[in-house]
Amino acid sequence: MDPRNQEKQGEPVEPRYLDFRHLPDGTMRDGKPALNKYSSTLTNAHDFPGAQAMLYAAGVPSKEAMKTQPHVGIASVWWEGNPCNMHLLDLGKEIKASCQKDGMLAWQYNTIGVSDGITMGGEGMRFSLQTREIIADSIETVTCAQHHDACIAIPGCDKNMPGVVMAFARHNRPSIMVYGGSIKPGYSETLRKPINISTAYEIHGAYIYKTLKSAQEGEFNADQIMEDIEKNACPGAGACGGMYTANTMSTSIEAMGLSLPGSSTTPAESPAKMRECAKAAAAIRTCMENNITPHKLLTKASFENALVMMMALGGSTNAVLHLLAMAGTAGVPLTLDDFQRVSNKIPFLADLAPSGKYFVADLFDVGGMPSVMKLLVAAGLLDGSILTVTGKTLAENIAPYPSLPQDQAIIRPLSNPIKATGHIEILRGNLAPAGAVAKITGKEGLKFTGKAMVFNKERELDAALNAGKIPRGGNLVLVVRYEGPKGGPGMPEQLKASAAIMGANLKNVALITDGRYSGASHGFIVGHICPEAVVGGPVAVVQDGDMITIDAEKNRIDMDVSEEEVKRRLSEWKAPKPAVTRGVLAKYARLVGDASHGAMTDLF
């Protein structure tokens, strides 16, 4: 059977690139562990003398090392232009050194990334989501082309993590993810409080609506406050510090067993992060010796853990998109209904930004992810029996760690949650027959009805906000369309708009889109409307003044327009000309699937 068909049916898949000198279960024919299972294709005998010559030039020290030592690829999403990623080269050097000390041949390489924080609100954001596919393609390519025996990946920004895990699922060779870690909180002297990247976006709403004030009124003018926040929101290396998409994905992936204990909440610039890198070699050796491959870790039970962690911590809507894509790549059946099912039973516990007070660096100080998982395993909400990259179960990994302190305020007790159920709601209705994703923390209520105010691109809404044209009176549902995976193209995040609405305190406004939101977005927001407008989804024919109701209790999103009228409007609708006709975005638009299936490009 073709492995691609096996994946489609959810059956176990052997690696696509097998070295037939070895048995598929990862042992040599004499029964000994084959740590160089794949690389020996090039290094045994003299079948590939050119390859061996190149490998000697690339640092193989001896004939003995050539014949016996496994090859480990260390894949980082390093580049200097983004705080999330700019330190990953140094983490990779530490990991490489640890592999070499442990008798392995290791080579660093990197793939590309896009800074969501820098591109947010501009045309560059259209390139962000498709980097997930490029990252997966890059790591799969190098791992398989170079016959690497194992992979240690070091992601930083949010598309990085699903990208590396999708690559793991494709090549299915022993793999570990080492998260680059979170940034420290910044501090504003003008506001006299901790700040972060979300502050910079939300404060813009107060700036354009002329409600921006310093901690002591009159002490600073609006421009001085803006300059202070811009300068101090990001004080160093690391991913955005709240429970935004990067930390949502890192905590979910740790709960799946793909990273070492504590990886997801260890700050980027802490000594603990370097110690984690030093431990990576021993863990990847364990994976190779015991044939612990990604398909043994990427199971329905581990994805269930990811969903539990996402709900308990108040994670990003983007995790829905990414976890669907990761599961689809691994051949694990996961649907939107699974997210709703888990959200219905898991309480929202974490008082973390964007809707809360604290940051992930604060969570690290009270025990980090191991302590959170300990709470959830003890409560029977998280499966502690799943296998992990350490060779132990999740429960065994967290056993030595302390419980959360009784006096900490970041993770609420199960008896007193922020919300009794999860914050992610999957909505359907005549506006989103194939589903939509809402982030409802409960602080903004559970139901909203308002008149539609329609924008055909995010930039149109941004321009209206910048001009102060969104009124405070009367409930409004702002509709942003033609920003889906194909329509954007690239399904851009709309933090600039959602943050401006929060900063301007426009409580009479809800925001819906066939595009995405940043993990830093909050408020009454609905994204991932499917089918998207560009393929003729009903959102394409919403008109100004239509009444729209978002109901998180009934899981509905509807416009007060009859079925006959919707059909009439659609019969008269014409698809707009493609926004991009050449280059990587045009290729992405042709290949990408819908948001309700993870916006994948490698569907079979």
Residues 518-543 pLDDT 10s: 877 777 899 999 999 999 999 999 99
Contacts of 158 (CB under 8 A, 6+ apart): 116, 239, 244, 245, 246, 248, 249, 316, 318, 322, 519
Q: Which pLDDT does position 603 carry in this prediction? A: 67
Q: Which pLDDT does position 498 carry in this prediction? A: 86
Task: Look at 176 and 120; give whichever has higher pLDDT.
Answer: 176
* Candidate from 19-23, 182-186, 409-413, 454-458 with smallest mean pLDDT: 19-23
Please check the confidence at residue 24 and state whether its pLDDT lies above 60: no
Measured CA to CA, the distance from residue 25 to residue 586 in angstroms comes to: 41
Please check the confidence at residue 356 and state whether its pLDDT lies above 70: yes
Q: Which pLDDT does position 132 carry in this prediction? A: 98
Contact 583, 491 (CB under 8 A): no
**How is residue 387 annotated by DSSP?**
B
What would the pLDDT profile of 358-402 be if each residue is shown by its tens digit?
A: 999 999 999 999 999 999 999 999 999 999 999 999 999 999 999
3-state helix, strand, coil in the chain (%, to 5): 40, 15, 45
What b/e sequence results for 39-49 when a residue is b if at least 16 CB atoms lie within 10 Å of its CB, and e otherwise?
A: bbbbbeeeeee
Distance in angstroms between the alpha carbons of the first and the last residue of the chain: 14
Q: Which pLDDT does position 345 carry in this prediction? A: 97
Please check the confidence at residue 15 and state whether its pLDDT lies above 50: no
Q: Which pLDDT does position 201 carry in this prediction? A: 86
What would the pLDDT profile of 213-234 be if each residue is shown by its tens digit?
A: 898 877 899 999 999 999 999 9
Assign 5 a pLDDT band (cuts: 50, 70, 90).
Answer: very low
Please check the confidence at residue 7 and state whether its pLDDT lies above 90: no
Average pLDDT over residues 71-98: 98
What whole-number percentage of the chain has pLDDT above 70? Answer: 94
Q: Which pLDDT does position 411 carry in this prediction? A: 98
- Dihedral sign from CA coordinates of 236, 242, 247, 249: negative
Domain ranges across the chain:
70-183+239-398, 186-232, 426-597
Nearest Cα residue to 549 out of 418, 450, 467? 450
Average pLDDT over residues 568-595: 96
Contact 557, 549 (CB under 8 A): yes
Summary mean pLDDT of the chain:
92
Contact 557, 510 (CB under 8 A): no
Assign 67 a pLDDT band (cuts: 50, 70, 90).
Answer: very high
CATH topology of domain 426-597: Glucose Oxidase; domain 1 (3.50.30)
Assign 495 a pLDDT band (cuts: 50, 70, 90).
Answer: confident
Average pLDDT over residues 292-312: 98
Q: pTM (2 decimals)?
A: 0.93
* Candidate from 19-28, 210-219, 392-401, 595-604 with smallest mean pLDDT: 19-28
Peptide bond connecting 489 to the previous residue in cis, omega within 30 degrees of 0? yes
Measured CA to CA, the distance from residue 244 to residue 252 in angstroms comes to: 12
Assign 32 a pLDDT band (cuts: 50, 70, 90).
Answer: low
Average pLDDT over residues 240-254: 96
Measured CA to CA, the distance from residue 431 to residue 542 in angstroms comes to: 8
Q: Which pLDDT does position 121 carry in this prediction? A: 86
Catalytic residues: 518
